Amino acid sequence: MSKSIIKFVRLSPTKARLIAREVQGMNAELALASLQFMPNRGARFIANAISSAVANGGFEPEEVVVSSCRVDAGPVLKRFRPRARGSASRIRKPTSHILVEVSKAQKEA
């Protein structure tokens, strides 16, 4: 089993979790192929994490399965936007930590 972590991705964790649930349990080669055609911005980051985890273990994408794909919340950048009559509203810019674990595929006999 090998893993890869990408920290401080400027993407909301809720948006990234939708994509992470799609690829969990998939073959790594199939997951990379399906992420390539997803229109979401987070798909590029998760595909990068999967290919990094595969390379960290010294595997080939055909022989491993994405056993775990987790997206945790990172720190939130807080900004302010001026509003009417001297007030201000808060802008939250969330970040994410993406953790991917791959393991050898179980041979079914």
Cβ neighbours for 79, distance < 8 A, ≥ 6 positions apart: 90, 91, 92, 93
- Tens digits of residue pLDDT in 52-61: 999 999 999 9
Query: In this structure, what token pair is assigned to residue 87?
Result: 């007030």
Give the residue numbers spanning the domain of 31: 2-104
pLDDT confidence of residue 109: 53
Q: Name the packing angle between helices 42-57 and 28-36 (round to 10°).
A: 150
Of 61, 68, 57, 3, the closest CA to residue 32 belongs to 61
CATH code for position 55: 3.90.470.10
What letter represents residue 15's amino acid? K
Domain count, the chain: 1
Query: Residue 109 falls within a domain, yes or no?
Result: no
- pLDDT tops 80 at residue 107: no
Distance between CA atoms of residues 76 and 55, nearest Å:
30
> Per-residue pLDDT tens for 3-52?
999 999 999 999 999 999 999 999 999 999 999 999 999 999 999 999 99
